[in-house]
Structure 1
Amino acid sequence: MNETADARLFAALSEIQNATDGEAIEKLLDHLIAFYGLKSAAYLGTGIARAPDAEPYLAVTYSPDWVERYKDQRYAEIDPVIVMGLRRLLPLDWSEFGRLEGKQVTLFGEAGEFGLGRRGLSIPVHGRQGDRGLLSITSDLGESEWECEKRIYMRDFQVLATHIHDRVRRLEGLAPQPAHLSPRELECLEWIAQGKTAWECAAILGLSQHTVRCYLESARHKLDAISNTHAVSIAHRTGLLFQTL
């Protein structure tokens, strides 16, 4: 990923961290559309409110008319984006739905009329306290362009989904469970944050490259991170990194 793309990602992460309410989350989704040339974006969160019978959290860039229509028709009960997406561990491309039937055909036909893109991707997030999140984005790109877009930005989308979910959890009062990293895990992450490779970290710390990779893998696991970049971002946001510098 080039420097400009990295700057775009970290600008988005900073905006997420500074979000103070639902309106800020929706503005963030608007900015993601502009950043990545998307058609629409939506975030759905379940199990994140203090009240057990609370409605799912929803932030969207859709028109109010479409949101009202969606609720009136109770499309959530048959929408494969939700039915399949919340059960998944890996990102779900909407092309995986297969043949749509009955009311689902109507749902996606109307979605297009209300401005949703022809292609979609949903990224699930599974929290440690039973909470779940789903970031869904759509695009009007052609098939080959869409596949290229996913290859380039899939990491961004997964990182952003995790951070949006974490921020909404905090806004809704669901306390995070802090991770505890060992001194060696923190050392490795600190050098990664400064742009060093695993090989360079090993040379600096006097460890084997295999050992450094094991420390980084352990840190990613503890932080629920999908990459070293993601782990650095989470550790920095939660105050684990640079707190002694």
Structure 2
Amino acid sequence: MNRRLEAFIERLSAAATLDDLTDEIRALRDLFEVEHVVYHSVNSTGQQYGILTYSDAWVERYLEQDYARIDPVVQGCFRRFHPVDWKNLDWSGKAQREFLGEAIAAAVGRQGFSVPIRGPNGQFALFTVSDSRTDRDWELYTETHVRDLILVAHYVNQKALEIERGTDHVPVKSLSPREVDALTLLAMGYSRAQAAESLAISEHTLRVYIESARFKLGAANTTHAVARALTQGLLVV
């Protein structure tokens, strides 16, 4: 994890209000060097919260036309559990193609990468970055940044849940950022050696984080700990 990302996570951890969270999410455009960043959440009571960097005109048009009904990003990600590149969604319908044309004209970007998040008690959120890079440049970009995008999506959603706790009343276990990192990488299929290398720590230190998380979650083993953390919305993979 690079220093700029670590600094962002530290600032995000200190966010106490939705305004603070909004400022940090908007700052992600510079951190990830993309044109747009979007975070949208629907909690267990149906209340929605969104932070996005699209133009006001496009947001107004999107809501006015109720484009969520046909938007392949929204519809496709709602049925998925794993991150998805927009190119892999179904844009074959006439309505979807026309919608895409409007979105591109509104400077949303030709490329996008979205992380669907399923939190506790039915909460659903979507974290997205979009840009106008070429197909090849975008492929290289996502290959390079996919892990960081997934981790940031988790941190943003976790902070949003903390701030909105009075609405959702979610009894979320408290794991340290490093414990979350360790379990997230294991959930993504990393071996312990690969996870330790990615986090720039020793396997012994990684084991300490895993065991600490396992104890907090009341899990019988590492696999059980990952499963419990996923179920409680502590991880996104």
Q: Tell me which of 172, 179, 188 is aligned to 1:177.
A: 172
Letter in 2 for 1:40: H
One-letter amino acid matched to 1:140: S
Give the deviation of 1:63 after TM superposition: 1.2
Measured in 1, the distance between the counterparts of 2:95 and 2:18 equals 30
Per-residue deviation at 1:87?
2.0
1:203–1:39 Cα change, 3 Å? closer
Larger Rg: 1
Residue 86 in structure 1 maps to residue 78 in structure 2:
yes
Which runs of structure 2 are paired with 1:59-138 in the superposition (5 Å)?
59-138=51-130
Change (3 A) 1:222 1:9: farther
C-alpha displacement at 1:78, in angstroms?
0.9
Task: Trace 1:1-245 onto structure 2 (pairs within 5 A).
Answer: 6-48=2-44, 52-54=45-47, 56-173=48-165, 174=168, 175-178=170-173, 195-198=200-203, 200-201=204-205, 219-224=225-230
Change (3 A) 1:67 1:21: farther
TM-score by length of 2: 0.73
3-state secondary structure, aligned to 2:129: strand
Question: 1-side partners of 2:62 and 2:80: how far apart?
Answer: 22
Counterpart code for 1:122: S
CA shift for structure 1 position 71: 0.3
Quote the offset at 1:142 in angstroms.
1.5
- Report the alpha carbon displacement of residue 177 of structure 1 after superposing the two structures with TM: 1.9
The unaligned stretches of length 5 or more in structure 1 are 205-213, 232-245
- After the TM superposition, which of the residue ranges 67-76 and 13-22 deviates more from structure 2? 13-22
- Extract unaligned runs of 5+ from structure 2: 184-195, 209-219
Question: Are the aligned partners of 2:72 and 2:90 in contact in 1 as well (CA < 8 Å)?
Answer: no
Cα distance in 1 between the residues matched to 2:41 and 2:53: 15
Q: How many residues align?
A: 203
Paired-residue identity, %: 24
Matched residues in 2 for 1:138 and 1:218: separation? 35
How many angstroms apart in 2 are the aligned matches of 1:60 and 1:136?
9
- The answer (yes or no) to whether the contact 2:72–2:91 under 8 Å persists in 1 is no
Separation of aligned partners in 2, 1:222 and 1:180 = 12
State the shift of 1:152 in Å: 1.3
Counterparts in 2 of 1:196 and 1:216: CA distance versus 1, 3 Å: farther
